[in-house]
């Protein structure tokens, strides 16, 4: 399997390492290594940009879900507090 076929399966750290190695080889490698690095760098850059977009979208979705969960929790807490106050008022009215 060629290295460019494995790029989509790589972790962000692996992709960063591959980019660093390709940049190094583009500067100081053999002519074949320089050519391969020049071929891979645009592919790596494209994959990194796509991941940024995907990660940003996932983070936004996660933030919205978290905000919704917090809002639901606040609503439940407010409803419980209101019910407890109503119970207390009812008990006080019944005791009089």
Contact of 10 with 22, CB cutoff 8 Å = no
Per residue in 21-54, pLDDT tens? 999 999 999 999 999 999 999 999 999 999 999 9
Q: Is the pTM of this model over 0.85?
A: no
Q: Is 5 exposed, middle or buried (0-12, 13-18, 19+ CB in 10 A)?
A: exposed
């Amino acid at each position: 399997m060629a290295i460019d076929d494995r790029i989509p399966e790589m972790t962000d750290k692996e992709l960063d390492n591959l980019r660093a190695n390709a940049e190094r080889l583009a500067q100081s490698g053999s002519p074949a290594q320089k050519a391969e690095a020049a071929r891979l760098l645009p592919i790596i850059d494209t994959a990194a940009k796509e991941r940024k977009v995907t990660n940003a979208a996932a983070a936004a979705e996660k933030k919205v879900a978290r905000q919704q969960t917090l809002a639901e929790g606040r609503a439940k807490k407010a409803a419980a507090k209101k019910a407890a106050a109503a119970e207390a008022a009812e008990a006080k009215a019944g005791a009089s």
